[in-house]
Structure 1
Amino acid sequence: MPTLKTLQPGDEPLLEAFLWQHADTSMFLRSNCRAAGLLDEGARFQGTYVAAYINEAIVAVAAHFWNGMVIVQAPVHLAEVVQAAVTQSGRAIAGISGPAAQVEATKSVLGLSNRPTQLDESEILFSLTLADLQIPPALGAKQVQCRFPHSDELELLCEWCAAYNIEALGQKETSSLQPACRQIIEARQATSVHWVLVAENTLVSYSAFNAALPDIVQIGGVWTPPALRGKGYAKCVVAGSLLEARSHGVKRAILFTSDDKQAAQAVYRGIGFVPTGEKYGLVLFEG
């Protein structure tokens, strides 16, 4: 039987050594730990991490984060680490993410298989070695510009974030949505992990990294207003963000998207992303 331990500051190297073995499906865990450490005082990116140890090495981990998300990387002993993390944190559960099969198992372990969801998907995981990034002609010819947002553009990006959450994540348009999106956009602005595409002095598309490490980044939140779709803007903004990341030494990028989003898949394949063969699970519960 494994030994269970609630991770504390100082345990980061052992955690990273384990998660590195599952790098493509551990981006949120690795990035959140790097950003906020292993203390859990309820601040952004913090969570309660519980790991299973065998022979002093971590073999499974689950974390329950500040925003209610339970994130797993537990190829073994999943039930033990999930139950312990949720019990230790005392938080409500807003959703689950991690390798798709583990997410399904986590729903069952927590007795949430029948709880109503706003999103419940097993998504295709894509990867790109940035040396192989294919630059869209419009971006290469500087017909469009990819750059960090200006402060006076953040209000528009909050509106785009809300629209993305409604369309892509199934959220309802409630009074709390805009303030939550404002927090997201302001945090991304403060950490320089989002980009806009400009065509003829007009913002036309948006992309962000929802997890970032020195060697690898994860794309999230790609949004083009419906009236501007089909013009190649999404390819340009994602490629532009990855050019910037590559200039800072990042070697790889990953993302996940659902089977039925053929247009999104075409965008990503068009700049060099290929499926890894793994599936990533994402569940967001209603309410």
Structure 2
Amino acid sequence: MWGRFDGGHLVAACHVAANLVPVQAGPEDAAAFAQRALTRRRTASTIVGPQSAVRPFWDEVGPSWGRARDTRWDQRHLEIAGPPAVRPDQGVRAGVQGDLGTLYPACVAMYTEEVGVSPEAGGGADLYRARVAQLVGRGWSFVRYDGDELVFKAEVACATEHAAQIQGVWVPPHRRGQGLATEGMAAVVHQVRARISPTVSLYVNDWNHAARGVYERVGFVETTRFATVMF
């Protein structure tokens, strides 16, 4: 974690790991973090954060770090801090370890569809499976079954006492358009607000109109724009 200080007071930070994330960073802060990043080799596979910070960071490091695999400059950050606007699906529940046989392949499919590369690539299967199991163990994984078929899933990626961020929202392709995601997300919002955090957030690509429609129906509202650079 890097920090930028003004008169001894921390004014901005940058999380530096597989994900590089500027935190409360204005354009000057982001440029300063970028100069620090250029003193070492790139280890991040993703730069993600508020659009206003990711752009100036990338402007500085782009010529040295090389061509990105994908850039997503217009991602909507959404929040809901009240009850969902539609009826929650009563079949959505917290995942348990016994679900991993169907849940793990669904997580791989979602990640591959969203990111464009499998999380198992390069020998990452064990680490990714451990992460999925960790979220289940925390009670942060949500599933909906129709018989033996997993038809909806989502996870809490991270949470504080103030807010939780949702990731990995997925419905199998042949079950899309049936309302599973809308009522499923309503259930996730209801359950997360009841036992994890009062505000539920996520971010979605501008071009994903189907997902944006789901979140709008549930009651999410846009608060800012994110951007992501992937290597």
Give the TM-score taking structure 2 as reference length.
0.87
The answer for the alignment partner of 1:264 in structure 2 is 211
**Cα distance between partner residues in 2 of 1:192 and 1:91:** 34
The answer for the alignment partner of 1:192 in structure 2 is 139
Moved more, 149-158 or 177-186: 177-186
1:230/1:82 CA distance change after superposition, 3 Å: same
The answer for the alignment partner of 2:30 in structure 1 is 78
Of 91, 98, 110 in structure 2, the residue corresponding to residue 164 of structure 1 is: 110
Secondary structure of the structure 2 residue equivalent to 1:269? helix
Where does structure 2 lack aligned partners over 5 or more consecutive residues? none
* Preserved contact between residue 144 and residue 152 of structure 2 (Cα < 8 Å): yes
The answer for the alignment partner of 1:283 in structure 2 is 229
Letter in 1 for 2:71: D
Moved more, 245-254 or 170-179: 170-179
**Cα distance between partner residues in 2 of 1:157 and 1:216:** 25
Of 69, 73, 81 in structure 1, the residue corresponding to residue 19 of structure 2 is: 69
Structure 1 runs of 4+ with >4 Å offset: 85-88
1:181/1:249 CA distance change after superposition, 3 Å: closer
The answer for the alignment partner of 1:240 in structure 2 is 187
1:126/1:242 CA distance change after superposition, 3 Å: same
Cα deviation per residue 1:105-124 (whole Å; 9 max; x = unaligned)? 21222235773434321201
Larger RCO (alpha carbons 8 Å, 6+ apart): 2
Where does structure 1 lack aligned partners over 5 or more consecutive residues? 1-48
Of 194, 197, 213 in structure 2, the residue corresponding to residue 250 of structure 1 is: 197
**Cα distance between partner residues in 1 of 2:196 and 2:108:** 32
1:57/1:110 CA distance change after superposition, 3 Å: same
**Cα distance between partner residues in 1 of 2:147 and 2:183:** 14
1:52/1:106 CA distance change after superposition, 3 Å: same
Of 62, 66, 91 in structure 2, the residue corresponding to residue 115 of structure 1 is: 66
**Shift of residue 252, structure 1, vs aligned partner:** 1.2
Secondary structure of the structure 2 residue equivalent to 1:161? helix
**Cα distance between partner residues in 1 of 2:212 and 2:198:** 21
Moved more, 182-191 or 256-265: 182-191
Q: Percent identity?
A: 23
**Cα distance between partner residues in 2 of 1:240 and 1:149:** 13
* Preserved contact between residue 83 and residue 189 of structure 2 (Cα < 8 Å): no
The answer for the alignment partner of 1:150 in structure 2 is 96
**Cα distance between partner residues in 2 of 1:118 and 1:171:** 10
Secondary structure of the structure 1 residue equivalent to 2:92? strand
**Shift of residue 261, structure 1, vs aligned partner:** 0.4
Cα deviation per residue 1:197-256 (whole Å; 9 max; x = unaligned)? 123453211001112111211111101110111111112222222211221262211111
**Shift of residue 70, structure 1, vs aligned partner:** 1.1
Letter in 1 for 2:11: V
Count of paired positions: 227
Give the TM-score taking structure 1 as reference length.
0.71
1:168/1:112 CA distance change after superposition, 3 Å: farther
**Shift of residue 136, structure 1, vs aligned partner:** 2.7
The Cα RMSD (Å) is 2.3
* Preserved contact between residue 103 and residue 150 of structure 2 (Cα < 8 Å): no
The answer for the alignment partner of 1:126 in structure 2 is 78
The answer for the alignment partner of 1:51 in structure 2 is 3
Of 63, 87, 96 in structure 2, the residue corresponding to residue 136 of structure 1 is: 87
Secondary structure of the structure 1 residue equivalent to 2:21? strand
